[in-house]
Every structure is written in structure tokens, then in C-alpha cells.
Amino acid sequence: MNKLFLDIGNSRVKRALVSRGDYEVLPAVDLKMFLSNDSFDCFFKNKKIDAIYITSVTTHDNLERIKSLIQEQCQLFPIVLTSQKSACGLTSGYTDFHKLGDDRWMAMQGAIGFYKEPFVVISAGTAMTIDAVMDGKHLGGFIVPGLKSLRSSLAMDTAALSVIDKGSLLDCTNSANKGCLAMNTEAAILGGTLYMTVAYINTLIADLNAQMKTAFKVILTGGNAKQLHSLINAECELIPDLVLQGMINIEESVKNN
């Protein structure tokens, strides 16, 4: 049986195919392209899909559009995986567990499948979400602007500035690693927002470690995770497909029960 898992974010769709126990991460695709009727079917050509599972943070209209396209072109009704009160050894910390973002829940599910020690999941996307887990319980978390959102808002509100969120980002990251100040406006924006984000993360982890009297491992995922990875002070691991791993864990637990 071939199962397709879709992690639908604000700008990209990450995909994984599970077939008879084999796990294959497929290339991520642009959300706007994925929503296009003309290009949608190309993502499923030459692949026999028996079931499709979705976790989404996109708009209701976008999600309904994707579900409709799947039904039309794959003759399948996708199953939407959402936050739960508890599953797979993890209990939600939210009083109303329905209000916890489905992507945050799936990311924690992916992490708890690998780690039993205390950990913090940081999903560095358009928004950056931070969630702490200890002894199988979600302790809570934060949502703050991601790197791209910070840079875009700065450019939007400052008439003389424009931001290219690619290109020299690698150079800026290298400069930040060396502790150098920026020598041009673009690098100043890229490096400044990077430093600000990393300082926030490192301060939060230090405060959490002190409060809970233990060391939390950091697990990074999301589109900007790679830029943050080497700058985190705590023990840190990068898992790009963490949400997809969590979705698979949830699906398997339901199947086994």
C-alpha cells in the first residue's frame, strides 16, 4: 500500500511516500504551484497512491482547494491529521488542545519518536514556533515571526530598504559565525535578524534549563533551520522532515489500534 503524506505550510508543501515500510522524502514544492490545476497532476504521475494524509497550516480555502484537486485527480478522499489531547506517549499542554497548531503537534510527535529526554522543537518557517516537551508532556511554547517575516516587515516599514531573502544569506551567516558586523545594508538586515532570532532562542533555552533544572535538547526543522543550526548554544539536531515523521507515527498508531 502506497501512502502519501503532505505537510502543507504557508509557502511550501513537503511530501513523503511510504510504501511497504520504505520511506521516501519527495522534493518540496511551492504552495502556489501545488494549488494550480494545470500543474497539480504532475506531482502524482507514475505514482500509484492508495491513501493521502494531510497536515495543514494554510488557509481554509487553500486546504479545501487541495482536497478537491486530490479527489478529482486521484479519486481519493484525503485524511486530515489534526492535534489531539494525547497520542503516542505525548500529552498536549493546551487546555483546548484543538487550538494547538496541527504542525506543532506533528513536529512534537516526530521528535518524541526519536527522543525520550527533554527537548525543544523549533520550527523555523514563516512563523517560528517553539515547543518544549518533558516526560511525555507538552509544557507549552511560543510563536514569533520567522526570519523571512522579520525581514519583510522591516523592508515594508522602511522606505529606503529592500530585502533579498536569498543570495547573500550564506555570506551573512558566515559573518555572523565570526562575530563580524555587516558592511552593507543587505547584510545588516540579514545578519541583524539572524542574530536577534538566535539570541532569543539561546536565552529562552537557558531560562528553560534553569527553571526545569535539566538540559533540553533542541530539535530544529523548517525552511530556515539550517541557518540557525550552527549558532544554537545547546545540543542541537536538524531534522527537515520532522512534521512528516510525526504524521507517519500518528497514522501508524491509529492503524495498530
Q: Is the pLDDT of residue 169 over 80?
A: no
CA atoms within 13 A on the CB side of 210: 6
Per-residue pLDDT of 124-152, as tens digits, reads 998 999 999 999 999 999 999 999 888 88
Higher pLDDT pick, 122 / 168: 122
66 three-state secondary structure: helix
Domain residue spans of the chain: 2-80, 83-240
- Whole-number Å distance between alpha carbons of 209 and 246: 25
Higher pLDDT pick, 251 / 185: 251
Averaged pLDDT score across all residues of the chain: 87
Q: According to CATH, what is the number of the domain 83-240?
A: 3.30.420.40
2-80 and 83-240 share one fold:
yes
Catalytic residues: 103
Asked if 222 contacts 125 with a C-beta cutoff of 8 angstroms, the reply is: yes
How remote is the C-alpha of 90 from its chain's centroid? Answer: 18
When pLDDT is cut at 50, 70 and 90, the band that residue 173 belongs to is very low
2-80 belongs to which homologous superfamily?
A: ATPase, nucleotide binding domain (3.30.420.40)
% pLDDT > 90, the chain: 62
136 three-state secondary structure: coil
When pLDDT is cut at 50, 70 and 90, the band that residue 194 belongs to is very high
Q: Is the pLDDT of residue 164 over 80?
A: no
pTM, entire model: 0.88
Give the burial string for 187-222 (b: 16+ CB within 10 Å, else e): bebbbbbbeebbeebeebbeebeeeeeeebbbbbbb
When pLDDT is cut at 50, 70 and 90, the band that residue 253 belongs to is confident
